[in-house]
Amino acid sequence: MRIGVVTFPGSLDDRDAQRAVRLAGAEAVALWHGTHDLEGVDAIVLPGGFSYGDYLRCGAIASHSPIMAEVIQAAERGVPVLGICNGFQMLTEAHLLPGGLIRNDHGNFICRDQGLRVENNSTAWTNGFAANAEITIPLKNGEGGFIASAETIAELEGEGRVVVRYLGMNPNGSINDIAGISNARGNVVGLMPHPEHAVEEGFGPDTASAMRSGTDGLTFFTSALTGFLATV
């Protein structure tokens, strides 16, 4: 399986995402925002960072990048798309996911190992988790407050499209502690926390067993691989 990771001007976590893809057992394909070429990849990751310096709005300018036209078409065909942090912001700006992300309610950038509950384990990116799995992966953002109209929130909650929810504390003022959501089909997932930073022992969050041994994020990437292998 080939998973593309799109690099935008100002992307920070593209290399980490590529590495996570490789550790999951798939081939990572570096894609460039300024082209219209998805190079035939089977899934797409929009990585974190500060594309275009967060100018205009986080993810707004990137959502109009040349390659995003192809990403939107691919998403509509059912190709798995994962937006992490700035990538999640791009997905909302591109209208592939509803709602929006605004500045953290406390006004500060936040960086911490964050507990999450995986509430939907049937999406393309979470099918490897047990039902209601509780996981810990890094969270780092300044504008991670998820907001949407009351109708949209009711729809997301009613259809089980809240994929991950913050546990223990709400780090940014997100409505209903929402950390990540999916589209109706479940192939497009966006979340503020960073699964790609918790994929290898020695470099992840602390766990009860050992410092920096958390690898809960890897399952997002192996889930995509499992879903792909089931179709071939």
Candidate residues 72, 173, 212, 228; the one interacting with other proteins per rule CB under 8 A:
173
Contact 222, 128 (CB under 8 A): yes
Q: Is 85 a catalytic residue?
A: yes
Identify residues 110-149 at the interface with other proteins (CB under 8 A). 145, 147-149
The interface with other proteins within residues 179-218 (CB under 8 A) comprises none
CA proximity to 18, closest of 47, 59, 56: 47
User: Which parts of 80-149 fold into alpha helices (H)?
Assistant: 86-93
Residue 194 is a catalytic residue: yes
Six token digits for residue 196: 């790609």
- Please, what is the minimum distance in Å from the beta carbon of residue 62 to other proteins? 13
Which of 85, 93, 143, 197 does the annotation list as catalytic? 85
Helices (H) and strands (E) in the chain, counts: 5, 11
209: tokens are: 């067993």
Contacts with other proteins in 36-95 (CB under 8 A)?
A: 56-57, 60, 64, 92-93
- The radius of gyration computed from the CA coordinates of the chain, to the nearest angstrom, equals 16
Task: Compare residues 26 and 148 and give the one whose CB is closer to other proteins.
Answer: 148
Binding residues for other proteins (CB under 8 A): 56-57, 60, 64, 92-93, 98-100, 102-107, 145, 147-149, 173
